[in-house]
């Protein structure tokens, strides 16, 4: 037997166990996992002694802005950053220009990203109400990972771009969709069996409260949170749950940020509804108390809230209410992130820093290494229908592997990030535990903190057929 790659002397980590074994790779697939010494020559041997061998980690939520405002980021840079961060598969969000709103635009986006990808990727489809309701089934057939609806956001009627700070009377703008439109979108997506994912904030409430607070003249972070309070999230989460109950949609709450949002999802799960929820490192490692030291780089939507919310989110991660962790990678330039809190854009880099932060949380006793695999590999792969191709170390799966050194220490330095724009709220954070090798389908893309893979080496990944998703 001729092996393409062999990983020896490492500790295998699954979502429930750790054990010593070697991994054998042939033709991009895992061919064997065993303690026995198998016969045959091998093209490359990786000695992982003292290190942990994880299934390739997945980031289900990134914005590479490609095509679009690529002066901030593009897919080549974001997937280089993913590889450096130990991520082997990313899911690209659909609010590009043009958006992934039709089967034709799905094909355009795949051709665009294929030549740039350093790691494998999936594509989200966007829901734009009546404007693309008749394209939902076609997007499903093309192989979108799921469908995203930016609840409460207005849409430019010519470019289909989202408007984050809508005000009545804007030219060429379609106001945020009403509840009837949301019902119809959920009904159509429910037919596909895929997730209907929502950015859950109440636009009406935010407009009213933000206007009130800005009129007072305050630009503090406390005032910012008064304009986008916990209520803005919980109102939309609860409304989404009720609409999902009525339509049978598999609702997924994106980047939950509040105790109230988590509580609402947990209650629906206990009632037996297929409601799932994710969160991001900024909600786990930051709170409003950090704003004086970090400043405007930590502005995101939904905003980072209070310590009580952080504590509730950690508990939901540990008890399984929160299905997985993702980055919501959304870079802006340093110039754009400099200014008053009301006017600067929301978002920051995250795909490269997520895994080191989560590994550091293992050292802090917040989670275990098997929890990292569960949250960043196994569960997201199952949730979005790409398991067992991705998210697991088992014979026949893609040879996606993330090797981590739990003893290696570093300090996050935004100037060393692979992204085009490098703003992160975690600049200067000390971490213990780093990804030291990223392997995608048997190809080494990052080795000892150096990118060694080729641009264009990544491939698109699509869910299994809907009937298989519904059985899981």
Q: How far apart are CA 144 and CA 232, in angstroms?
A: 29
Q: Is residue 39 part of a domain?
A: no
Q: How far apart are CA 14 and CA 466, in angstroms?
A: 26
Positive or negative, the Cα torsion across 44, 57, 412, 63?
positive
Q: Is residue 406 part of a domain?
A: no
CATH code, domain carrying 128: 3.20.20.140
pLDDT(218) > 90: no
Q: Is residue 119 part of a domain?
A: yes
- Locate 142 and state its tokens: 């093309």
Q: Is residue 461 part of a domain?
A: no
Confidence of residue 23 (pLDDT cuts 50, 70, 90): very high
Q: Is residue 429 part of a domain?
A: no
Domain that holds residue 363: 57-386
In 3D space, the residue among 81, 142, 71, 93 whose CA is nearest the CA of residue 117 turns out to be: 81
Structural contact between residues 378 and 55, judged by C-beta atoms closer than 8 angstroms:
yes
Mean pLDDT of the chain: 95
C-alpha atoms less than 13 angstroms from C-alpha of 234 in its C-beta half-sphere: 13
In this predicted model, what pLDDT tens digit does every residue of 332-354 receive, in sequence order? Answer: 999 999 999 999 999 999 999 99
State residue 177's pLDDT score: 86
Does this model's pTM top 0.75? My answer is yes
Structural contact between residues 278 and 253, judged by C-beta atoms closer than 8 angstroms:
yes
Q: Is residue 466 part of a domain?
A: no
* Token pair 């590994």: residue: 359
Confidence of residue 468 (pLDDT cuts 50, 70, 90): very low
Q: How far apart are CA 167 and CA 470, in angstroms?
A: 40
Q: How far apart are CA 231 and CA 215, in angstroms?
A: 20
pLDDT(199) > 70: yes
> How many CB atoms lie under 10 A from the CB of residue 471?
8
pLDDT(469) > 50: no
Q: Is residue 7 part of a domain?
A: no
Q: How far apart are CA 146 and CA 126, in angstroms?
A: 9
State residue 467's pLDDT score: 37
pLDDT(157) > 80: no
197: helix, strand or coil = strand
State residue 195's pLDDT score: 98
Q: Where are the alpha helices (DSSP H) in 273-375?
A: 281-285, 291-294, 307-319, 354-363, 369-373
State residue 216's pLDDT score: 83
pLDDT(27) > 80: yes
State residue 470's pLDDT score: 38
Total of domains in the chain: 1
State residue 472's pLDDT score: 40
Q: Is residue 438 part of a domain?
A: no
């Amino acid at each position: 037997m001729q092996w393409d790659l062999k990983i020896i002397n490492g500790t295998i980590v699954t979502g429930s166990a750790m054990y010593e074994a070697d991994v054998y790779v042939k033709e991009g697939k895992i061919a064997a996992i065993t303690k026995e010494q198998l016969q045959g020559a091998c093209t490359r041997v990786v000695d992982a002694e003292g290190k942990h061998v994880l299934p390739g980690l997945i980031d289900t939520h990134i914005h590479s802005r490609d095509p679009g405002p690529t002066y901030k980021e593009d897919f080549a840079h974001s997937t280089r950053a993913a590889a450096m961060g130990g991520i082997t598969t990313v899911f690209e969000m659909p609010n590009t220009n043009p958006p992934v709103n039709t089967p034709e635009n799905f094909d355009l986006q795949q051709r665009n990203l294929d030549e740039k990808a350093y790691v494998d990727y999936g594509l989200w489809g966007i829901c734009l109400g009546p404007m693309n309701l008749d394209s939902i089934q076609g997007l499903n057939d093309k192989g979108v990972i799921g469908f995203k609806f930016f609840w409460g956001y207005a849409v430019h009627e010519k470019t289909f771009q989202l408007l984050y700070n809508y005000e009545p009377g804007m030219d060429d703008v379609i106001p945020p969709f009403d509840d009837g439109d949301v019902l119809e979108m959920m009904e159509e997506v429910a037919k596909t069996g895929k997730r209907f994912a929502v950015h859950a904030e109440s636009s009406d409430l935010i407009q009213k409260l933000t206007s009130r607070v800005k009129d007072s003249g305050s630009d503090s972070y406390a005032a910012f949170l008064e304009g986008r309070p916990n209520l803005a999230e919980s109102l939309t989460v609860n409304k989404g749950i009720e609409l999902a109950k009525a339509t049978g949609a598999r609702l997924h709450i994106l980047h939950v940020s509040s105790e109230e949002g988590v509580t609402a999802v947990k209650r629906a799960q206990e009632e037996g509804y297929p409601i799932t929820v994710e969160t991001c490192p900024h909600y786990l490692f930051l709170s409003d108390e950090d704003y004086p030291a970090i400043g405007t780089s930590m502005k995101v939507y939904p905003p980072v809230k209070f310590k009580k919310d952080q504590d509730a989110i950690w508990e939901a991660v540990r008890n399984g209410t929160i299905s997985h962790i993702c980055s919501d990678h959304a870079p802006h330039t340093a110039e754009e992130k400099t200014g008053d809190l009301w006017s600067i854009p929301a978002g920051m880099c995250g795909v490269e820093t997520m895994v080191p932060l989560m590994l550091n949380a293992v050292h802090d006793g917040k989670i275990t290494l098997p929890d990292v695999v569960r949250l960043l590999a196994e569960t997201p792969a199952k949730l979005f229908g790409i398991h067992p191709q991705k998210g697991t170390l088992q014979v026949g799966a893609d040879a996606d592997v993330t090797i981590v050194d739990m003893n290696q220490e570093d300090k996050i330095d935004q100037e060393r990030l692979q992204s085009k724009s490098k703003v992160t709220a975690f600049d200067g954070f000390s971490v213990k535990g780093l990804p030291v090798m990223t392997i995608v389908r048997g190809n080494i893309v990052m080795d000892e903190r150096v990118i060694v893979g080729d641009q264009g080496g990544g491939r698109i990944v699509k869910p299994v057929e809907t009937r298989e998703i519904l059985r899981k």
